[in-house]
């Protein structure tokens, strides 16, 4: 199976609405105007999207017998079919029996098929086993999922499986389909086929927000916004802001975010509109913050994430930026602005022009920053002990920043 292979995953329930077909016959209407007349939506979807293979999932009590009877010619594999009918009626269909009838299904449908039993999903462990079965059945490539049939709770599990396959297995979920029999037009008789791909986009947004809150990567939102029509040049601002922030070029990072922010002043399209407020709230600080506030905010963020090297570097740089502002120096030139501001502040500390707590906080922050950033053992026994202690390091780093940056 290659990355270009498309697999359709469909569920089989145990409905007995029709003695011959199980499910009620329906005319399923697709977006492109085509229709498929079938009692089992998965078969109509198979003809509509023409995947390379079919994975059919059902429990030991699903109506495997009714489905197989639609495919078998008169007298074909009669003993096997009778065994399947008996097993299905007693809820004891097993894997060997499904393997035996698989060639019959493949001959009828003309595509490779995989018939698999799934758990009833009565508890968390059973539901996890369903996800595992789906993942094992679709190791790579593209996947389309049909949520129409099966127990009602299987639709929720099937939807979750789409996100699981995409996020954990790296598959491309090409579509989530639902044959909405309850929405059948009483006059025309057509049953709409509903695309539930928007659920995947919502999951992607939720995942992006969660990951952003953990790592601060603005680029996570770029593909989601671009998919909903945000201009590429505006989306690129977020990607570049993430790059500049990671390389500690905060001035350019802030400029890129400020260039992007007007996008959020007008309503977004698609699913992005649902998350517009949440995104705006996470970026609003840029409009008010100067460089020192930006550095201090990031230092606090990295401290919470356990990235002590970045926390110490940015915390120290926030102090120097503040001292540049006090003296009306520029921010960017190290030799002409930042180093003179650092030297002047240290001279004030030595002259006891600042409280002892500020002085202690500054020297601790500077020593921690030098030891962490350069990777060399500090000359101070206390600093070496702090860096070697996973409990003390975040506490002392936090205390130092509070003392000198309050």
pLDDT digits (tens, 9 = 90+) for 75-130: 667 888 888 888 888 889 999 999 999 998 999 899 999 999 999 888 999 889 98
CB-based contact 121:66 (threshold 8 Å):
no
Structural domain contains residue 35: yes
Structural domain contains residue 368: yes
pLDDT of residue 257: 96
- Are residues 65 and 188 part of one domain? yes
pLDDT of residue 212: 95
Q: CA–CA separation, 96 vs 119, rounded Å? A: 16
> Of the residues 141, 160, 195, which one is the last residue of a structural domain?
195
pTM of the model: 0.79
CB-based contact 322:296 (threshold 8 Å):
no
Q: Three-class SS of residue 248?
A: coil
Structural domain contains residue 1: no
Structural domain contains residue 67: yes
Asked whether residue 350 carries a pLDDT value surpassing 80, the answer given is: yes
Give residue-wise pLDDT tens across range 370-405. 999 988 778 889 999 999 999 999 999 999 999 999
Structural domain contains residue 161: yes
Mean pLDDT of the chain: 90
Q: Tell me the mean pLDDT in the region 347-367.
A: 96
Phi, psi values for residue 3, rounded to 5°: -65, -20
**Residue ranges making up the domain that contains 122:** 6-195
pLDDT of residue 340: 96
pLDDT of residue 187: 83
pLDDT of residue 78: 80
Asked whether residue 299 carries a pLDDT value surpassing 90, the answer given is: yes
> Of the residues 268, 288, 308, which one is the last residue of a structural domain?
288
Q: Tell me the mean pLDDT in the region 180-194.
A: 89
Asked whether residue 358 carries a pLDDT value surpassing 90, the answer given is: yes
Give residue-wise pLDDT tens across range 255-298. 999 999 999 999 999 999 999 999 999 999 888 778 999 999 99
Q: CA–CA separation, 330 vs 324, rounded Å? A: 6
Asked whether residue 176 carries a pLDDT value surpassing 90, the answer given is: yes
Asked whether residue 18 carries a pLDDT value surpassing 60, the answer given is: no
**Beta carbons within 8 Å of 78's beta carbon, 6+ residues apart:** none
> Of the residues 242, 260, 288, which one is the last residue of a structural domain?
288
pLDDT of residue 158: 83
pLDDT exceeding 70 applies to what percent of the chain? 96
Structural domain contains residue 364: yes
Q: CA–CA separation, 361 vs 356, rounded Å? A: 8
Determine the angle formed by the axes of helices 250-260 and 291-305, rounding to 10 degrees: 100
- Cα-Cα-Cα-Cα dihedral of 276, 282, 283, 284, to 10°? 90
SS3 for 169-227 is CCCEEEEEEEECHHHCCCCCCEEEEEECHHHHHHHHHHHHHHHHHHHCCHHHHHHHHHH
177 pLDDT tier (thresholds 50, 70, 90): very high
- Are residues 107 and 12 part of one domain? yes
Asked whether residue 19 carries a pLDDT value surpassing 70, the answer given is: no
Strand segments, DSSP code E, in 104-189 are: 113-117, 142-146, 172-179
- Are residues 81 and 18 part of one domain? yes
DSSP 18: B
22 pLDDT tier (thresholds 50, 70, 90): low
Angle at 147 between CA 142 and CA 153, to 5 degrees: 125
- Are residues 36 and 179 part of one domain? yes
Supply 277's token pair.
């407020």
Give residue-wise pLDDT tens across range 312-340. 999 999 999 999 999 999 998 889 999 99
**Beta carbons within 8 Å of 31's beta carbon, 6+ residues apart:** 193, 195
- Are residues 127 and 250 part of one domain? no
How many structural domains compose the chain?
3
- Are residues 213 and 173 part of one domain? no
Q: CA–CA separation, 353 vs 351, rounded Å? A: 6
How many Cβ atoms are within 10 Å of 58's Cβ, its own excluded?
Answer: 25
- Are residues 362 and 227 part of one domain? no
CB-based contact 54:112 (threshold 8 Å):
yes
**Rg of the chain taking only CA atoms, in angstroms:** 31
- Are residues 280 and 218 part of one domain? yes
Structural domain contains residue 200: no
pLDDT of residue 3: 62
Asked whether residue 17 carries a pLDDT value surpassing 90, the answer given is: no
Asked whether residue 152 carries a pLDDT value surpassing 90, the answer given is: no
- Are residues 334 and 381 part of one domain? yes
- Are residues 21 and 110 part of one domain? yes
- Token look-up 């002392």 returns 396
Structural domain contains residue 51: yes
SS3 for 272-336 is HHHHHHHHHHHHCHHHHCCHHHHHHHHHHHHHHHCCHHHHHHHHHHHHHHHHHHHCCCCCCCHHH
- Are residues 164 and 121 part of one domain? yes
Q: In this structure, what CATH number is given to the domain that contains residue 120?
A: 3.40.50.10640
- Are residues 169 and 108 part of one domain? yes
150 pLDDT tier (thresholds 50, 70, 90): confident
């Amino acid at each position: 199976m290659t990355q270009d292979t498309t697999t359709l995953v469909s569920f089989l329930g145990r409905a007995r609405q029709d003695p011959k077909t199980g499910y009620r016959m329906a005319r399923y209407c697709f977006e492109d105007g085509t229709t498929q007349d079938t009692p089992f939506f998965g078969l109509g979807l198979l003809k509509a999207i023409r995947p390379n293979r079919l994975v059919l999932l059902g429990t030991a009590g699903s109506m495997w017998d009714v489905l197989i009877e639609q495919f078998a010619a008169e007298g074909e594999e009669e003993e096997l079919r009778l065994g399947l009918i008996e097993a299905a009626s007693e809820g004891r269909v097993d894997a060997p029996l499904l393997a035996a009838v698989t060639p019959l299904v493949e001959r009828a449908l003309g595509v490779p098929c995989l018939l698999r039993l799934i758990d009833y999903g009565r508890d968390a462990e059973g539901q996890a086993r369903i996800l595992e079965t789906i993942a094992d059945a679709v190791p790579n490539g593209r996947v389309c999922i049909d949520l129409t049939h099966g127990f009602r709770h299987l639709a929720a599990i099937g939807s979750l499986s789409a996100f699981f396959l995409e996020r954990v297995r790296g598959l491309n979920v090409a579509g989530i389909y639902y044959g909405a029999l309850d929405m059948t037009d009483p006059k025309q008789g057509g049953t709409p086929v509903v695309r539930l791909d928007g659920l995947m986009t919502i999951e992607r947004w939720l995942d992006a927000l969660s990951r952003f809150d953990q790592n601060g990567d603005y680029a996570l939102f770029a593909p989601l916004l671009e998919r909903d029509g945000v201009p590429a040049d505006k989306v690129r601002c977020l990607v570049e802001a993430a790059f500049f922030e990671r390389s500690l070029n905060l001035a350019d990072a802030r400029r890129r975010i400020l260039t992007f922010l007007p996008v959020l002043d007008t309503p977004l399209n698609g699913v992005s509109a649902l998350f517009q407020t949440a995104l705006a709230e996470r970026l609003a600080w840029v409009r008010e913050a100067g460089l020192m506030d930006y550095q201090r905010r990031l230092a606090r963020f990295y401290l919470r994430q356990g990235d002590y090297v970045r926390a110490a570097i940015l915390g120290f740089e926030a102090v120097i930026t503040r001292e540049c502002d006090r003296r009306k120096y520029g921010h960017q030139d190290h030799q002409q602005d930042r180093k003179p501001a650092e030297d002047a502040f240290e001279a004030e500390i030595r002259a006891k022009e600042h409280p002892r707590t500020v002085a202690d906080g500054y020297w601790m922050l500077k020593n921690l920053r030098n030891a962490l950033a350069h990777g060399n053992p500090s000359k101070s026994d206390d600093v070496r002990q702090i860096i070697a202690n996973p409990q003390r390091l975040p506490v002392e780093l936090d205390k130092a920043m509070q003392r000198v940056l309050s």
